[in-house]
Amino acid sequence: MPAVSKGDGMRGLAVFISDIRNCKSKEAEIKRINKELANIRSKFKGDKALDGYSKKKYVCKLLFIFLLGHDIDFGHMEAVNLLSSNRYTEKQIGYLFISVLVNSNSELIRLINNAIKNDLASRNPTFMGLALHCIANVGSREMAEAFAGEIPKILVAGDTMDSVKQSAALCLLRLYRASPDLVPMGDWTSRVVHLLNDQHLGVVTAATSLITTLAQKNPEEFKTSVSLAVSRLSRIVTSASTDLQDYTYYFVPAPWLSVKLLRLLQCYPPPDPAVRGRLTECLETILNKAQEPPKSKKVQHSNAKNAVLFEAISLIIHHDSEPNLLVRACNQLGQFLQHRETNLRYLALESMCTLASSEFSHEAVKTHIDTVINALKTERDVSVRQRAVDLLYAMCDRSNAQQIVAEMLSYLETADYSIREEIVLKVAILAEKYAVDYTWYVDTILNLIRIAGDYVSEEVWYRVIQIVINRDDVQGYAAKTVFEALQAPACHENLVKVGGYILGEFGNLIAGDPRSSPLIQFDLLHSKFHLCSVPTRALLLSTYIKFVNLFPEVKTTIQDVLRSDSQLKNADVELQQRAVEYLRLSSVASTDILATVLEEMPPFPERESSILAKLKKKKGPSTVTDLEEAKRERSVDVNGAPEPAPASASAASTPSPSADLLGLGAAPPAPTGPPPSAGGLLVDVFSDSASAVAPLAPGSEDNFARFVCKNNGVLFENQLLQIGLKSEFRQNLGRMFIFYGNKTSTQFLNFTPTLICADDLQANLNLQTKPVDPTVDGGAQVQQVVNIECVSDFTEAPVLNIQFRYGGTFQNVSVKLPITLNKFFQPTEMASQDFFQRWKQLSNPQQEVQSIFKAKHPMDTEITKAKLLLGRSSDLGQHSLKKLILTLQTLWALASSTPKPPRLDACCVWSRICKLRCTGSRCAQARTLFPRGYVTYCRSSFNPMQAVGLCVLFPCVSATLGDHTAHSTMEHLSTCTSSLGPGRGWDTKGLLTGTTAGLPVQGGPGSMKSRQPVVQSTN
């Protein structure tokens, strides 16, 4: 028989527990439990009323079964009955059951709350304590609603017992954390602050936790707590170890309270001079005590003492104002770095990380570099080594970068798999940030790839290429180094990528050496080709065509390779297309054209390293300890502005790796001023609308763009709500079905979607809809129909604002509804004579629009030319449609890759080129904008009608900067253009009168012909 401790009479329970313990198998245990459950069920259902003792025993058994991991679906009512028992132990078990197995059954909650209310009013401190514990354990919103008003009163009442005050303080804290809106600040707050002066240290301990949490959100209300906390702390740290009696823990006076007080002080900046002096004394005392010999050998003594010390150091770092204290803290941590306790070494490394970011202690931290490197090599615990890596990263600056990077690299060879990727990112960042000599940088990154190629993410190798391209002084070295590295019999695919790219650009710089002649370079790369994945092979094909330009002597070899069946008939479309196009390009283009088309990449625009963004994403902002970084993070938080999108966001999904390098998917820079609307360009359709109720939901802009050429799909999605669209348009009318899906299991209340049209939009676009049911059940979907009529042309899109209540919180979402002008476009049949006749008729002065404006940014022909490579503009397709699509692709690439606002420029360029093509004149002008080969090639067979049609579509393309959307636009475009017979034009059913870009319109009152905007380059 097991020993039953005194006072516990539930022998039946003990027997049951020991039965369970003696069960030999899981099955036997389940059998025993089911037997017991059946027994309890029958007792609860039986006719004989159970006495309190039995009820308690059975409820306790149920609880035990639940804690073993089995589901319990009855017994709640019996437990609630126990709450109203007058016997302490019965009440206690009842509360325990409720705390562990809360059920959202509303009837039950009412009963529970009633029982709690009675106990709180009982004035019996033990019962009050139980009731408060229960509220603190459950902490539900219902309980907050019922008791948040009552508990502060209990807390500050003069006659409340100390133990009840303690429970009340922490109970209130729990409710505040769960539902801050239900715990309003009031008169009680100032009295709570004075609990810091309470004689009972237990009360002070509990109250300090409460005050700390409240002060974080309401610093003004609680600022008097600072001086009280300092004087309390001062009394504690100067007390003799016996003064505080039972609050002294292994000779350390009130360690828990000290830690909490120091924590509270971290909610505030350094206090006024008077208080500050006292605080500094306290902190010095704590630092001094760390040097004293220990009063006990027990680990508890040192832990408690050091807990206070670390908290004091946190406060010193937080204030970051006393150089003297900072340096002392650093020295203290330095001692801990070599302590025999692993725990202390771990904490010292962690704490030093934050010290490294203070300007006062950065140098002091650096003196410990050897110890930290040693820790990296010798610590047996991976979590400690991880801290060492973090600290090395934090203490790195120009003076020690080479050493630290070298150590991290050598550690990488044996590092745990779990932290490799992070180390790779850190090394890459440090190498770039502190590179004086870029050959060192190139070596480091190539080493990274060699040692941990699998952990080198795309951002890392993109970055090395960007840097090599931007710095001429390192290009030759880079080419030589990758060439050597590639000679290793087995090299990582990432190295092949970097090698392929760099040799394609700069292979000529080492071709003079017979050991790395063009043919050897090519053979070396091609020997890796078949082992690589599709994206890498695609990249290598681009390298080959670049070789054709760089080294005419290997042209035939490369053509043979391109011509082979494994390329031309490759199952992968991307590879096949590249092979076909490159082969054609190499055979039809003159050397001149090749030289232009395949010219060296232009420098990349400087921007924040995408690697840094990735590290931040991976580790959270707190670990990027660079001081400036931290500050910038903070300011970003304050403004609520999202970080600039890292280039990596787009990289993952795009199929063409060479294009990714430019970060085409990166968001275009925001327009600096109001859009130049004077021209009335179609592009204005896509400029941001001015009116919105809630700020537009992040990401909705992307979705909006996706809908320009699409009618169905998901417009918006977050954790709660999904909005789907289905729409159809005919002539000037349209109908849109909006589907609101509740993704949660809880009802949305007061669900009200509203359509908002800006004033000028209202006149041009008629939207009619019926209100939807204000409640949306969990998991349900409701539909709303919007009837749309386009009265006149418009530029902005209506905004859909949705407001509802979810679980008591108010939700407000705004998204732009994708109703754009192009939805109402209509093709129209027209013989070519008719067309030109109409075109010529549009010659009245009112029917012409011309706007001349200065380009905001210089149009660098060199850059433009090079950028054109991106779209692989060597349009070699068989018919003109393909050519046009390629043209558009090219323009799209141009539009999205030019660093400065490209939309308007690209559009103008486009319309201009159309005009040139239409008339077949002014070729020379076009040459200033586009590479020769390109223009001459396109000109040969050109259908003006198609160009005009594309003209209209182009703004759509320029607005859809995402790769995916561009793709779908292309598809859309191809269907549009292929349906155009000769002599067909485009019309918008009298909706569009004055248009841009030479769009021919059917005559109507006030029809206007517009002229192409003329770009005046500032160049």
Partner 1 sequence: MQFMLLFSRRGKLRLQKWYVPLSDKEKKKITRELVQTVLARKPKMCSFLEWRDLKIVYRRYASLYFCCAIEDQDNELITLEIIHRYVELLDKCFGSVCELDIFNFEKAYFILDEFLLGGEVQETSKKNVLKAIEQADLLQEEAETPRSVLEEIGLT
Tell me: is residue 53 an annotated ligand-binding position.
yes
- Other C-beta atoms lying within 10 Å of the C-beta of residue 455: 20
Q: Which is nearer to partner 1, 34 or 979 (CB)?
A: 34
CB of 333 to partner 1, least distance (A): 14
d(CA 357, CA 634): 15
CB of 20 to partner 1, least distance (A): 9
Cα–Cα distance between 198 and 204 in angstroms, integer? 6
Check the annotation: does 58 bind a ligand. yes
- Please say which residue, 107 or 381, places its beta carbon nearer to partner 1: 381
Closest to partner 1 by CB, 64 or 268: 64
Q: How far is the CB of 307 from partner 1 (least distance, A)?
A: 4
By C-beta, is 147 or 930 nearer to partner 1?
Answer: 147
Paired tokens of 747: 């009802």
Question: Min. distance of Cβ 171 from partner 1 in angstroms?
Answer: 7
Encoded tokens for 78: 């019996």
Nearer to partner 1, 133 or 838 (CB): 133
Tell me the angle at which helices 880-897 and 944-959 cross, rounded to the nearest 10 degrees.
30
Residue 638: strand, helix, or coil: helix
59 annotated among ligand-binding-site residues: yes
How is residue 226 annotated by DSSP? H
Residue 396 annotated as part of some ligand binding site: no
Q: Closest distance between partner 1 and the C-beta of residue 380, in Å? A: 7
One-letter amino acid for residue 969 of the chain: T
Which residue's CB is nearer to partner 1, number 139 or number 998?
Answer: 139
DSSP 662: T
From the list 200, 202, 249, 255, the residue with the least C-alpha distance to 233 is 255
Q: Shortest gap between Cβ of 741 and partner 1 (angstroms)?
A: 22
Pair of tokens at residue 117: 């209310």
Minimum CB separation of residue 208 from partner 1 in Å reads: 9
DSSP state letter for 897: H
H helix or E strand, kind and range, residue 852? strand 852-854
- Alpha carbon distance 433, 451 (integer Å): 21
Nearer to partner 1, 210 or 467 (CB): 210
User: Are the C-beta atoms of 462 and 647 separated by less than 8 Å?
Assistant: yes
Give the nearest distance from C-beta 818 to partner 1 in angstroms.
37
Nearest of 490, 401, 423, 421 to residue 450 by alpha carbon: 490
310: tokens are 């670390």
What DSSP state is assigned to residue 696?
B
Token duo for residue 626:
């660079």
Nearer to partner 1, 15 or 831 (CB): 15
CB contact set of 97 (below 8 Å; sequence gap of 6+): 59, 60, 62, 63, 75, 76, 79, 82
Instruction: Supply the minimum distance, in Å, between the C-beta of residue 209 and partner 1.
Output: 4
Cα angle at 889 between 884 and 893, to 5 degrees? 150
Nearer CB in complex with partner 1: 125/994? 125
Cβ partners under 8 Å of residue 236, min gap 6: 244, 253, 254, 257, 258, 261
CB closer to partner 1, 384 vs 495: 384
Give the whole-angstrom CA distance, residue 681 versus residue 777: 45
**Which CB atom, from 3 or from 638, has the smaller least distance to partner 1?**
3
Token representation of residue 634: 């903070």
Find residue 814's DSSP bridge partners. Answer: 696, 801
Paired strand residues for 368? none
Q: Whose Cβ is closer to partner 1: residue 285's or residue 383's?
A: 383
Q: Which is nearer to partner 1, 312 or 593 (CB)?
A: 312
| φ/ψ of residue 124, rounded to 5 | -85, 110
Say if CB 736 and CB 791 are below 8 A apart.
Answer: no
Residue 655 CB coordination number (10 Å):
14
Phi first, then psi, for residue 70 (nearest 5°) are: -100, 155
Half-sphere exposure of 632 (CA within 13 A, CB side): 12
Nearest-approach distance from CB 882 to partner 1, in angstroms: 51
Give backbone dihedrals phi and psi of 715, rounded to 5 degrees, phi first: -90, -35
Say whether 724 sits in a helix, a strand or coil: strand
Q: Closest by alpha carbon to 622, among 875, 774, 394, 809? A: 394
To partner 1, the closest distance from the beta carbon of 226 in angstroms equals 18
Q: How far is the CB of 459 from partner 1 (least distance, A)?
A: 23
Contact 363, 397 (CB under 8 A): no
CB of 401 vs partner 1, minimal distance in Å = 26
- 57 annotated ligand binder: yes
Phi, psi of 982 (to 5 degrees): -60, 140
**Closer by beta carbon to partner 1, 105 or else 812:** 105
Least distance (Å) from partner 1 to the CB of residue 718? 20
* Nearest by Cα to 212 from 145, 158, 150, 259: 259
CB 621, CB 540: distance < 8 Å: no
Q: What is the DSSP letter of 73?
A: -
Show the tokens assigned to 710. 């699409």
Question: How many residues belong to the chain?
Answer: 1019
Name which of 11 and 153 has its Cβ closer to partner 1: 11
Fill in the DSSP letter of residue 830.
Answer: -
Nearest distance from C-beta of residue 663 to partner 1, angstroms: 29
Task: Return the structure tokens found at 683.
Answer: 């592009």
Widest pairwise Cα distance in the chain: 110
Binding residues, by number, are 11-12, 43, 53, 57-61
